[in-house]
Amino acid sequence: MTTETVVSIPRYAPLANMVLAFDGSAAIAQALLPADLIPATEAASPFSLTFWMNPQPTLEPGNENAPYDQQSPPRIPGPIVVVDIRGEQGPLVTWSIATDLTLSFSVASVPPNGFGVNIGPHLSQWIFVASVFTPPDGDQNQHGQVSLMVSNGAQMTAPATANLSNTPSPRHEDRWLTVGNLPTARFQVPDDLGPFQGLIGQMRLWNAALTQAQIEAHMYDDPIGPRAYLRGGPVIGDWRMNEGYGTVAFDYASPGPELIPVRYQPPPGNHMTLGTGDPATEPAWVIADVLTQVQKTTSVQVNTAVTQAPARGTLPGFGGRSVP
């Protein structure tokens, strides 16, 4: 008697050119992170979060008719959240965009003063965001350090860094990773952050403080299937956000056994649920190939992973517009 092993579910076959679109309303995506994923220590544990983002916020009306020296840069009506990680005992880290279009993140409610990167020149463009928390080292970095790097597909610039004024208190607890909104249904959260508007894809969580060289080395990792898994590496969450339909964005950090290429069994992992059960809270799947779009909008060759990407025509993007 032979036993047939099921190794694929065609519905969940990942696609190369899908991302999640958030329309600035109630759309939300959430994944439960077990307590031991980012372990609590006396000095807090290092971690990094990397992702591709195409911010498309609604801007306040400008004053183009004013004299040149009185014109103000683009602004948004209020600050918006991009990603948030928190548990029952409070927030761990929050990534947000301020009204002046400065992207920053605060660790355990300890925001460093004057820290962030202006993404105003990159609105409606794909940018790669890499954020790193480094624990105290007992020397010059007594309370921990944060760094933030942003690239529009060209060579990554030097990171913006800041030392924290207090050491984040270690908390051993399960935490929710929330994308595009704040988890108001689960926690009491501040109401001064609005929802994200734009596209997000290929998010990775690492249990290490990545260096700039490491970030650049994995910036264009193949987003499809188990072959993108870094064996022995510190990836603890790998959400490709490229399933194309359904209400789950799978976590590929634990790929499981080898599977037939192209058609995949959903891997074990901390999968991201899209929406809260109400269709109005589900972010939309849209066609917007991150690597192809970066290749088209960049005049320099960043590495072979991009220059070897197949050429494609303009793809439809969020809201019926073409994605830059």
Reported as a single tens digit per residue, the pLDDT across 274-300 is 999 999 999 999 987 665 555 554 433
Look up residue 147 and give its two tokens.
Answer: 């760094």
Token pair, residue 267, equals 């891997």
- Reported as a pLDDT band with limits 50, 70 and 90, residue 47 is very high
Enter the pTM of the model. Answer: 0.81
Whether residue 167 is predicted with pLDDT greater than 90 in this model: the reply is no
pLDDT at residue number 293: 56
Say what percent of the chain tops pLDDT 90.
35
Residue 262, pLDDT > 50, answer no
Whether the CB-CB separation of 275 and 289 falls below 8 Å is answered with: no
Task: Tell me how many degrees the CA angle 265-261-314 measures, rounded to the nearest 5.
Answer: 105
Q: Tell me if 196 sits within 8 A of 82, measured CB to CB.
A: yes
Return the pLDDT at 209: 92
CATH code: domain 10-60+72-309 is 2.60.120.200
Q: How far apart are CA 125 and CA 101, in angstroms?
A: 14
Per-residue pLDDT, 129: 95
Vertex 294 angle, CA 54 and 162, to 5°: 60
Answer with the residue of higher pLDDT: 109 or 32: 32
For residues 309 and 126, is the Cβ–Cβ distance under 8 A?
no
Across residues 266-270, what is the average pLDDT? 80
Q: What is the token pair recorded at 8? A: 């694929």
For residues 177-184, give the mean pLDDT.
Answer: 93
Distance CA 76, CA 85 (A): 23
Q: How confident is the model at residue 233 (pLDDT cuts 50, 70, 90)?
A: low
Please give the Cα distance from 129 to 261 (Å, whole number).
29
**Residue from 95, 91, 241 nearest 169 by CA:** 91
